[in-house]
Amino acid sequence: MLITVLITIVSVGILSTLVYLVSTVRSLKDRLETLALEMVDFHTYVDNREVEQARDHDRFSDDVDIRFDRVHRKVKKNQEEVYHNLERLENKLPEKIRKVIGHIEFARPIDNTK
């Protein structure tokens, strides 16, 4: 009878240990599933963020290209204006110099003291 009691006590101990182990395994399994879902969510978030950043970069790059093109066109237009004005001035300058020299050569003195 003592052996039966000892076997019963050992059986209850082993059974309670097994129940504890099973509940621990189940909770670990649930925790693992939760972590797996969180990892998938995190990867989805990172992928979405990466796509967003790529779009923002493309948008910014396009804006910069457009602005540089506008600035380039304005600079080119102003440069052409400056070259045109310079060319016109170069063409008119000899004529203006001749007129000024002509006025100087044939001018009367301002002070009539002579």
Closest CA to 54 of 64, 65, 62: 62
Give the integer Cα–Cα distance in Å for 68 and 58: 15
Look up tokens 């009878």; give the residue.
Answer: 1
Q: What is the pLDDT of residues 17-56, one digit of tens each?
A: 999 999 999 999 999 999 999 999 999 999 999 999 999 9
pLDDT level of residue 113 (50, 70, 90 thresholds): low
Q: What is the pLDDT of residues 51-89, one digit of tens each?
A: 999 999 999 999 999 999 999 999 999 999 999 988 888
Give the integer Cα–Cα distance in Å for 114 and 109: 9
DSSP helix/strand/coil, 31: helix
